[in-house]
Structure 1
């Protein structure tokens, strides 16, 4: 009899435990429900992520594929990352000229369930040689320069394209997206005005950079970018080109050579050591670290830092 009561008690406790687990599980599902109802947006690299975050506010979950420090030019998505794109409500990328892997990935994406946003839609691209003068490597003359986000005016066009894609995927929040995009584009226009004011009337308008990422910025503000290497961060100049650039730096009285933190500064250091000039950072904003984001560094702040750095050469 005692044994039977113990069994019953154990059975009752077990049943209660199961019911409690189920109840807690249901409660957790209810708590998580608002998050699961949000738009799921996947972006490729940092500018696309930051632009999108400023538009969606709290109406979407936005994820970033490429971590800071990843070479955007040579990146290839993993199977897990392709699955994340496929499962997204919206997939946002800069251009097939930048994310060269996108065209093949899109072949496996159901565009009926995933809205695909090419943020550069309608933008006229520069050839890789434009803005980098005669020093640009001949082997890259047919390349298209994909770094359009470094022009604050073209960045506004990208924001508008992203806004349109988000509305197509989530028309219920159209007003939120339109309002947020308008506010953010006003900030980008204020950034544009900062650059215009800073360089207005400058007589020395040339800057030397290791990575040829700033042709759009140079084109917008009537500056001249002279690059040591080409579009790719992995490209290295020949000894003859380095010698030519050494003469150029000395003849033109160049005082600074710019490099990006995300790539090796060895080439820039070599030229700087040979010519006795200083090194300075110019950020292509292809990746902002989590630590920098926590310090308040975003696209606009990084561009303002670029402006401060460029003013050392443009005067």
Structure 2
């Protein structure tokens, strides 16, 4: 993987006096805006500077780090993580931080080259947040021998298509990830260990309550099948005894075969499955097409990979989205 740089072109000065004044004002405004962005993403004196690869890690790091941490997420709101690759400015941000948190398990196909780019003298602590989770091995698409589809998936970010990387979707996996992040804070800033432990304990309690609620409220349904647009709910299905039927593979960009779509539509009809789930950060076209073919409705099942700008503005977070997922799962299992 190649990490590409960015080129910042300079606007050409205009010669007419009024246009020159307008250009200067625009340049000043752009400069102030850029300064604001740099301050947000730059170092914060007296705090642990943390860079995260995507939203769940950003949220957990904020919750554990509190006012002792300055946390920056590489991926902007509304961007699907599977489609994202870092730029040279991201490498610069990480090289100046004390902690870099990434999911691992093959999610960030770019991470090995990225970390190599930091150099051997880098002091940043890199943390694979999924370490210690029992990973789901295997990919149904491999079994069919769709090599072209596999290559396409790999280009979109997964470095290991034999492992399901979507660990964070299940609260039980999130518990392991939060503990790894706590340990990283303690390693980077042992003087404030007590505060990190306290904030972690609060986060741990909320995740355990979410896990208990999922276990309790999903256990009473006879129906266990969920049809999803993207194979992102394997850990959720494993931990709460559900059967995930995915239209697309581990990457939301993987194209399903026409015979697979027909087979899923037939399964939906035969088993009277009332809803097909789609995601907000990827196209819902396939889910809608399949729902129309099977004459059923659609619902959102959020893979918790990131927030839309609207969700960010509304103050949504990992827990509010997980609660909404639970409500929609209950509706689909009735």
- Give secondary structure in 2 for the equivalent of 1:126: coil
- Give secondary structure in 1 for the equivalent of 2:321: helix
**Judging changes above 3 Å, is the alpha-carbon distance between structure 1 residues 81 and 264 closer, same or farther for their aligned structure 2 residues?**
same
- Give secondary structure in 2 for the equivalent of 1:41: strand
Give 1:76 deviation, angstroms.
Answer: 1.4
**Residue 114 in 1 paired to residue 124 in 2?**
yes
Q: 1:65 aligns with which of 71, 74, 85?
A: 74
Deviations 1:180-203 (A, max 9, x none): 111101100000011011112311
Q: Could you tell me how far apart the structure 2 residues matched to 1:51 and 1:151 are? A: 14
Give 1:239 deviation, angstroms.
Answer: 1.0
Give 1:293 deviation, angstroms.
Answer: 2.8
- Give secondary structure in 2 for the equivalent of 1:193: helix
Aligned pairs (5 A) from 1:84-163: 84-109=93-118, 110=120, 113-129=123-139, 139=146, 143-163=162-182
Instruction: Return the index of the structure with the highest Cα Rg.
Output: 1
- Give secondary structure in 1 for the equivalent of 2:244: strand
Give 1:291 deviation, angstroms.
Answer: 3.4
Q: 1:76 aligns with which of 66, 73, 85?
A: 85
Give 1:71 deviation, angstroms.
Answer: 2.8
- Give secondary structure in 1 for the equivalent of 2:333: coil
Q: Could you tell me how far apart the structure 2 residues matched to 1:171 and 1:111 are? A: 22
**Residue 310 in 1 paired to residue 320 in 2?**
no
Aligned residue pairs, count:
279
Q: Could you tell me how far apart the structure 1 residues matched to 2:139 and 2:165 are? A: 12
Does the CA contact (< 8 Å) of 1:136 and 1:229 recur in 2?
no
Deviations 1:26-59 (A, max 9, x none): xxxxxxxx94111111011000000100001111
Does the CA contact (< 8 Å) of 2:77 and 2:312 recur in 1?
no
In structure 2, what is the equivalent of residue 55 of structure 1?
64
Give 1:87 deviation, angstroms.
Answer: 1.0
> In angstroms, what is the RMSD of aligned CA positions?
2.1
Q: Could you tell me how far apart the structure 2 residues matched to 1:136 and 1:310 are? A: 28
Q: Which moved more, 1:120-129 or 1:88-97?
A: 120-129
Give 1:135 deviation, angstroms.
Answer: 12
Give 1:70 deviation, angstroms.
Answer: 2.2
Does the CA contact (< 8 Å) of 2:280 and 2:302 recur in 1?
yes
Q: Could you tell me how far apart the structure 2 residues matched to 1:210 and 1:173 are? A: 43
Give 1:75 deviation, angstroms.
Answer: 1.9
TM-score (norm 1): 0.84
TM-score (norm 2): 0.79
